[in-house]
């Protein structure tokens, strides 16, 4: 990770130029940094979770936008005409392009993006909170895919940012109890403060504890927010027959899956990649009213220290839910 000077981008027709205020580091970018993510190939300006201020608009940009507006951005550009877009599943667009992967991202002073992806922040929302809209939208989508959980018990494996947001989203779906598992004591403490019941996989067998707490059946929904062979297997083991395992973590591109257990117990495995525009809008609403949060575990750091923070997040992040880089 190196700093480079390059020309300031210019907004092309239909684009907005944004002066970046905050840009969050995502777990998918950590896997790109480690060379484990096929979407992110260097040299590349990463950064897709961000907020900032519009400084210029290209010809034909949305009439609702104006220079000086505080905004965030849905970084998934979509065509709007393919069958998935027509079905409201824009995140699965066959022509999708991600800011920070297919085009330069927000780990920079300025970033140019398609104007239709720009979302003005709700009145009173800070730019700092607005930078959390993208990961919050992933949490909203996880809750949507989990479905109603009135009075149920659920499991989240991984207490990173997405795991913590998924925890809150499952409570929002009506879950009465949500177990949360992680190897890092500091992250388990964050999960506990958000209402989760912490489990350390080095101290207990996660699946056994969850099954004991559910009368031997297992949970109706589990969420893997890590993406490793062990965490994917733990979710399958902890999920009841005919239950749902949501795979959100991308740490490993591929890994073994206990397929026999999935088949014999008719478990459904579903990927949860991202979010629809409706999920993104809902995330902003939930951030505004406090139903989703990562505070007080947010760290702000200068962009020049980004490389050091990538190293720390890979190794021992401590009590940090999100690092926001400031250009």
- Span 162-206, pLDDT tens digits: 999 999 999 999 999 999 999 999 999 999 999 999 999 999 999
The gap between the terminal CA atoms of the chain, to the nearest Å, is 15
Please give the Cα distance from 284 to 72 (Å, whole number): 9
pLDDT value of residue 252: 83
Q: How far is CA 163 from CA 107, 167, 214, in A?
A: 23, 6, 21
Structure tokens at 284: 């902003």
Label residue 251 by pLDDT band (50, 70, 90). confident
| C-beta of residue 53 within 8 angstroms of C-beta of residue 18 | yes
- What percentage of residues in the chain have a pLDDT greater than 70? 100
Which regions of the chain carry the CATH code 3.40.50.720? 139-271
Which regions of the chain carry the CATH code 3.90.180.10? 15-132+294-326
The pLDDT of residue 102 is above 90: yes
Rounded (10°) angle between helices 185-193 and 161-172: 20
Please give the Cα distance from 73 to 11 (Å, whole number): 15
| C-beta of residue 143 within 8 angstroms of C-beta of residue 152 | no
Among 113-117, 151-155, 251-255, 262-266, the range scoring the smallest mean pLDDT is: 251-255
* CATH architecture of the region 15-132+294-326: Alpha-Beta Complex (3.90)
| C-beta of residue 198 within 8 angstroms of C-beta of residue 180 | yes
CATH topology for 139-271 is: Rossmann fold (3.40.50)
């Amino acid at each position: 990770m190196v700093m480079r000077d390059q020309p300031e981008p210019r907004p092309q027709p239909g684009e907005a130029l944004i002066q970046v205020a905050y840009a969050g580091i995502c777990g998918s970018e950590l896997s790109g940094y480690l060379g484990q993510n096929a979407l992110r190939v260097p040299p590349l300006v990463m950064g897709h979770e961000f907020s900032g201020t519009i400084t210029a608009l290209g010809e034909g940009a949305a009439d609702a936008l104006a220079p000086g507006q505080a905004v965030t951005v849905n970084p998934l550009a979509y065509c709007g005409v393919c069958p998935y877009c027509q079905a409201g599943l824009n995140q699965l667009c066959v022509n999708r392009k991600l800011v920070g992967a297919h085009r330069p991202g927000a780990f920079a002073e300025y970033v140019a993006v398609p104007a239709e992806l720009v979302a003005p922040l709700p009145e009173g929302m800070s730019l700092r909170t607005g930078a959390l809209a993208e990961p919050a939208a992933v949490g909203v989508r996880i809750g949507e895919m989990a479905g109603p959980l009135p009075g149920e018990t659920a499991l989240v494996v991984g207490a990173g940012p997405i795991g913590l947001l998924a925890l809150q989203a499952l409570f929002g779906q009506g879950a009465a109890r949500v177990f949360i598992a992680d190897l890092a004591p500091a992250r388990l403490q964050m999960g506990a403060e958000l209402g989760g019941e912490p489990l350390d996989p080095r101290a207990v067998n996660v699946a056994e504890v969850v099954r004991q707490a559910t009368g031997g059946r297992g949970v109706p929904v589990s969420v893997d927010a890590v993406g490793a062979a062990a965490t994917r297997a733990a979710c399958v083991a902890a999920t009841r027959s005919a239950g749902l395992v949501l795979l959100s973590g991308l740490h490993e591109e591929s890994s073994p899956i206990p397929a026999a257990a999935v088949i014999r117990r008719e478990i459904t495995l579903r990927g949860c990649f991202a979010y629809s525009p409706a999920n993104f809008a809902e995330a902003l609403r939930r951030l505004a009213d406090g139903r989703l949060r990562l505070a007080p575990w947010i760290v702000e750091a200068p962009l020049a220290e980004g490389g050091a923070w990538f190293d720390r997040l890979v190794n021992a992040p401590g009590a940090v839910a999100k690092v926001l880089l400031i250009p």
